[in-house]
A and B are shown apart, each in its own frame.
Chain A
């Protein structure tokens, strides 16, 4: 696609429910990243996929968080048993590669509210 597409744009869920967030990167971009941004805060790295390599999961805050990337394209971030502190904007980004001079293109984000 022309840009990074994320869905849903907004999600309100009850505490304890599971949620799935979807990211469709730019066609041909091999690297895909998930970040989250709490209100007034910077971007917190969550997980990163590069081609067929094992993902870098070092930023996932707990085992309630998981992500997969099927076929090297679309990625799904799953949060199980959501807590109020999970409320944030979840941003997906993609990059054509991981060479030092490649920046990211971000999607418009999913605003998650846990009530």
Chain B
């Protein structure tokens, strides 16, 4: 079982719609979660972080966390063609005294006009 799982997509949504991206993780002890956006040929950039159960909103983005279900999601409201990218879910994992981000394979989002 992969530590961080995402649907690879593509997820296709019309402009102006809500895009919903989902991620599940296997380490029940994980405490912090991140969403990165990666445009084709570019490096990932951090767009959201969340640590507590519930919702966290930042502009058009809302991150949702449910630790009991080991589930984290990202909602993008009023989707724009410029949101078309791969979205990577990352979970901070602790092992052997070290901690690092473990990334999912990413979900490709396509917003069409």
B45 at the interface (CB under 8 A from A): yes
Given contacts A48-B98, A98-B99, A100-B31, whether A42 and B46 have CB atoms under 8 Å apart is no
Q: How far is the CB of A103 from chain B (nearest CB, A)?
A: 4
> A48, B32: Cβ atoms under 8 Å?
no
- A109–B43 Cα gap in the complex (Å)? 7
How many whole Å from A69's CB to the nearest CB in chain B? 15
User: A106: which B residues are within 8 A, CB to CB?
Assistant: 43-45
Contact of A42 among B42, B95, B103 (CB under 8 A): B103
Within 8 A of A (CB), among B71-106: 88, 90, 92, 95-96, 98-106
Q: Is the interface of B mostly helix, strand, loop or mixed?
A: strand
CA distance A58 to B3 in the complex (A): 15
B105 and A41 within 8 A (CB): yes
Interface string of A49-65 (1 = CB under 8 A from B): 01000001010000000
From B31, B44, B102, B105, give the contact of A45 (CB < 8 A): B102
Q: Which residues of A contact B32 (CB under 8 A)?
A: 100-101
Quote the shortest CB–CB distance from B85 to chain A (angstroms).
14
Most buried by A among B31, B42, B49, B101: B101
* Contact between chains at B34 and A103 (CB < 8 Å): yes
B40 to chain A, nearest CB (A): 11
Q: Give 6 CB contacts A-B under 8 Å.
A: A35-B103, A45-B100, A50-B98, A98-B99, A106-B45, A108-B42
B51 beta carbon closer than 8 Å to chain A: yes
B25 CB → nearest A CB, Å: 13
Taking CB atoms, residues of chain A closer than 8 Å to B45 are 106
Contact of A104 among B96, B101, B104, B105 (CB under 8 A): B101
Q: Are B105 and A33 in contact (CB under 8 A)?
A: no
Quote the shortest CB–CB distance from B83 to chain A (angstroms): 19
User: Residue A103 contacts which of B49, B96, B99, B106 (CB distance < 8 angstroms)?
Assistant: B49
| CB-defined contacts of A41 to chain B, threshold 8 Å | 105
